[in-house]
Amino acid sequence: MPDHDSTALLSRQTKRRRVDIGVKRTVGTASAFFAKARATFFSTMNPQGSEQDVEYSVVQHADGEKSNVLRKLLKRANSYEDAMMPFPGATIISQLLKNNMNKNGGTEPSFQASGLSSTGSEVHQEDICSNSSRDSPPECLSPFGRPTMSQFDMDRLCDEHLRAKRARVENIIRGMSHSPSVALRGNENEREMAPQSVSPRESYRENKRKQKLPQQQQQSFQQLVSARKEQKREERRQLKQQLEDMQKQLRQLQEKFYQIYDSTDSENDEDGNLSEDSMRSEILDARAQDSVGRSDNEMCELDPGQFIDRARALIREQEMAENKPKREGNNKERDHGPNSLQPEGKHLAETLKQELNTAMSQVVDTVVKVFSAKPSRQLPQVFPPLQIPQARFAVNGENHNFHTANQRLQCFGDVIIPNPLDTFGNVQMPSSTDQTEALPLVVRKNSSDQSASGPPTGGHHQPLHQSPLSTTGFTTSTFRHPFPLPLMAYPFQSPLGAPSGSFSGKDRTSPESLDLTRETTSLRTKMSSHHLGHHPCSPVHAPSTAEGLSLSLIKSECGDLQDMSEISPYSGSAMQEGLSPNHLKKAKLMFFYTRYPSSNMLKTYFSDVKFNRCITSQLIKWFSNFREFYYIQMEKYARQAINDGVTSTEELSITRDCELYRALNMHYNKANDFEQVPERFLEVAQITLREFFNAIIAGKDVDPSWKKAIYKVICKLDSEVPEIFKSPNCLQELLHE
DNA sequence: GTGCTTCCTG
DNA sequence: CAGGAAGCAC
């Protein structure tokens, strides 16, 4: 036995000493990482804007000349949108809120009151009708008022009111015609129209007359009318909001698109001395003029389909341009000046792609939902200006490019797309809502929230039909597990006895074996890879074989009350309740990039998993195990090198064909089907190896906590995990490329 | 207490 | 790979 191998034994014999001191991943490590990434992204998107500015709205940094440029660029959009532009300080959300409040606090209450009283409110109603021309100008001036729409609204509402009023008057006259004084009253009625002043007697009569009216009839009639109007108004308001939001999203996309377009342009032809802003302004100006100069059919904005196509083409170009330098330079060069744009650019491109997909799919989904829910609504009559965008979206709703877009929603990571639709409870986003909610950590940066708030989904929409075997994560299976799936987070590990009855797998040939873990896990791996390959989107079939086994092996301590409370009978979201072998595979691949992922990071990257305490610790445990293996290998090879007579760290290098690397790759990338093991990993491994080597050479290994210093070094060497790992389907994309 | 980490064991 | 123990930080 070589001398250095004895230390392990020694350390086992001696009292265990803690070496995790100082290695602890403070929250800052991870959060700083994310903050950096965010900052990187945002600074790319908006060089002079603050992070917050961009975070909430891409549109709203339209201050100064930029806003003018943007306005020009987007003035093809509907006019009322422009009215919202001059408020750079306000976010979209707040604008919408204000808008809503304005409407609610402004005209609405008076309308609502109309059905309640027959006297005062009637006067009020009349005021509104007759004064509509007086009222509308301030509303036109109001930045939130959307003058065009308000004018339309008011006109139409006045129409309705006038009709109602006429009917009411007719009703009154009809009612009075039965009274003996009908002629006199009629004359008085005519005289009232005259501009002469109304005498107290007449006003008294009018009052009296009103009181004489059959109140019930009038009230019910009024209530009916006003209720229907209320309803219509509400629907109109909702639709208006939806349309606004969609247009806003589109505008955001356009803006980002032009930024990218712009940056690629300037990368190509500017020499760097020009002011970027002036360049941008000119380009945007020219572009705006260009688009304005086009035919009206080229219209208000790019057709969404074209828009996406052009964006994709640009992104492809950009990626191709980036790929060459990216070969030799790794992300390590992020810190160095000239190359610093490349990883950011890639990041940007990735994010933009995802954003485009998601935002467009949201828009399409919303419109489709609106139209399918209210197929008979005659929207065009109500909102002529908005008819065109809607029709275009509806057409593009057939675009198959968007089918997978929702699946990518979770890839957003640290990019927060304000979803104005979520601001209004009455508008529910289809399917994507759940996924958005499933990403609370993106929004809530307070790490303490994660445990307290636990289920960010608020305990609803927990899918019971998702199996850990399902790697697509977004199947639409109608199958429901008979047992709560959180308990399957620890499948096969608890020898609670033989599977009960029908759940005993047929191919379980050795039930006496208590160590089911490896066997079944590998079995599940095979199964899921089979699913992966052939039925990527098919629902998980019957809980047979290994999966069925897992149902019977319940880890009771995971089913504590808190976790159980998260279980909801509702299905429909795409969150998995357990970690699948593919998650393990993904985690191993992620280890090539990060050795010390924070739990928040894990939640971000395993966004298709519904996290609870068990899941989190399991994932953390995985990485702990990975590290353990990693460090063991390092120590082993360091000692081996020392025994082999290596005296200088210079002789220690790690290449892709060295033994150590092969061992590591075999562990984390068993099938070797991930061909993009980053160069950075080799560097980190080499650093680690040399650290171990030096420490052993220096005799530090006599100290039981000698590894602590090494851990401290290595934990700082994590690199950014590619965005693609955030995708629940990243394995397909990574391994089949 | 809880979360995270390492160490040890199976 | 997971369970458990132990230590540390918050």
Answer for the pair A698, A646: CB distance below 8 angstroms, yes or no: no
Cα(A126)–Cα(A123) distance, rounded to whole angstroms? Answer: 5
Q: Between the ranges A69-73, A185-189, A389-393, A624-628, where is the mean pLDDT highest? A: A624-628
pLDDT in tens, A448-464: 333 333 333 333 333 33
A576: helix, strand or coil? strand
Res. A382 pLDDT band, cuts 50 70 90: very low
Span A597-620, mean pLDDT?
Answer: 90
pLDDT at A349: 66
Q: Which residues of A413-451 are buried (b: 16+ CB within 10 A; e: fewer)?
A: bbbebbbbbbbbeebebebbbbbbbbbbbbeeeeeeebe
Measure, in angstroms, how far nucleotide C10 C1' is from residue A454 CA.
19
pLDDT at A242: 80
pLDDT in tens, A701-735: 888 889 999 999 999 999 999 988 988 888 888 87
pLDDT in tens, A581-596: 989 999 999 999 999 9
A12: Cβ under 7 Å from strand C?
Answer: no
A623: Cβ under 7 Å from strand B?
Answer: yes
Least confident of A272-281, A364-373, A429-438, A695-704: A429-438
Span A484-495, mean pLDDT?
Answer: 34
pLDDT at A424: 31
Q: Which of residues 414-473 of A touch strand B (CB under 7 A)?
A: 451
Give the other-Cβ count within 10 Å of A269's Cβ: 9
> Which residue has the least CA–C1' distance to nucleotide C6?
A18
Residue where the block lists tokens 């009771």: A556
Residue A378 has pLDDT above 70, yes or no: no
pLDDT at A632: 93
Residue A207 has pLDDT above 90, yes or no: no
Q: Between the ranges A178-192, A305-319, A531-545, where is the mean pLDDT highest? A: A305-319
Cα(A668)–Cα(A686) distance, rounded to whole angstroms? Answer: 17
Measure, in angstroms, how far nucleotide C10 C1' is from residue A632 CA.
30
Q: Which residues of A468-498 are buried (b: 16+ CB within 10 A; e: fewer)?
A: bbbbbbbbeeebebebbbbbbbbbbbbeeee
Q: For residue A661, what are the β-bridge partners?
A: none
pLDDT at A737: 63
Residue A664 has pLDDT above 90, yes or no: yes
A607 closest CA partner among A354, A294, A365: A354
More confident residue, A182 or A731: A731
A624: Cβ under 7 Å from strand B?
Answer: yes
C-alpha torsion sign, points A121, A124, A130, A133: negative
Measure, in angstroms, how far nucleotide C10 C1' is from residue A26 CA.
10
pLDDT in tens, A417-455: 333 333 333 333 333 333 322 222 222 333 333 333 333
Answer for the pair A67, A86: CB distance below 8 angstroms, yes or no: yes
Residue A556 DSSP one-character state: G
A226 closest CA partner among A105, A112, A104, A109: A112
> Which residue has the least CA–C1' distance to nucleotide B8?
A12
What percent of chain A is predicted at pLDDT more than 90? 14
Residue type, A284: L
A555: Cβ under 7 Å from strand C?
Answer: yes
Span A476-504, mean pLDDT?
Answer: 33
A609: helix, strand or coil? strand
Helix H, strand E, coil C: the string for A154-195 is HHHHHHHHHHHHHHHHHHHHHHHCCCCCHHHHHHHHHHHHCC
Q: Give chain B positions with protein CB within 7 A.
A: 2-10
Cα(A719)–Cα(A684) distance, rounded to whole angstroms? Answer: 10
A513: Cβ under 7 Å from strand B?
Answer: no
Residue A654 has pLDDT above 50, yes or no: yes
More confident residue, A138 or A307: A307
* Largest distance between two CA atoms of chain A: 126
A128 closest CA partner among A147, A98, A146, A153: A153
Measure, in angstroms, how far nucleotide C8 C1' is from residue A705 CA.
14
A490: Cβ under 7 Å from strand C?
Answer: yes
A16: Cβ under 7 Å from strand C?
Answer: yes
Residue A628's nearest nucleotide, by CA–C1', is B6
Measure, in angstroms, how far nucleotide C10 C1' is from residue A521 CA.
36
Span A629-645, mean pLDDT?
Answer: 92
A433 closest CA partner among A604, A567, A573: A573
Measure, in angstroms, how far nucleotide B10 C1' is from residue A516 CA.
13
Q: How far out from the chain centre does Cα A62 lie?
A: 23
A475 contacts: CB under 8 Å, gap ≥ 6: A465, A466, A537, A538, A539, A540, A574
Measure, in angstroms, how far nucleotide B5 C1' is from residue A624 CA.
8
Quote the mean pLDDT of chain A: 52
Q: Which of residues 616-645 of A touch strand C (CB under 7 A)?
A: 618, 621-622, 624-626, 628
Measure, in angstroms, how far nucleotide B5 C1' is from residue A24 CA.
6
Give the other-Cβ count within 10 Å of A460's Cβ: 14
Residue A513 has pLDDT above 70, yes or no: no
Q: Give chain C positions with protein CB within 7 A.
A: 1-4, 6-10
Which backbone phi and psi does A172 adopt, to 5 degrees?
-60, -45
pLDDT in tens, A123-145: 333 333 333 333 333 333 333 33
A568 contacts: CB under 8 Å, gap ≥ 6: A459, A460, A461, A462
Which backbone phi and psi does A76 adopt, to 5 degrees?
-65, -20
Least confident of A516-530, A559-573, A702-716: A516-530
Q: Which of residues 573-592 of A touch strand C (CB under 7 A)?
A: 579, 584, 587-588
Res. A7 pLDDT band, cuts 50 70 90: very low
Residue A231 has pLDDT above 80, yes or no: no
Residue A374 DSSP one-character state: S
pTM: 0.36
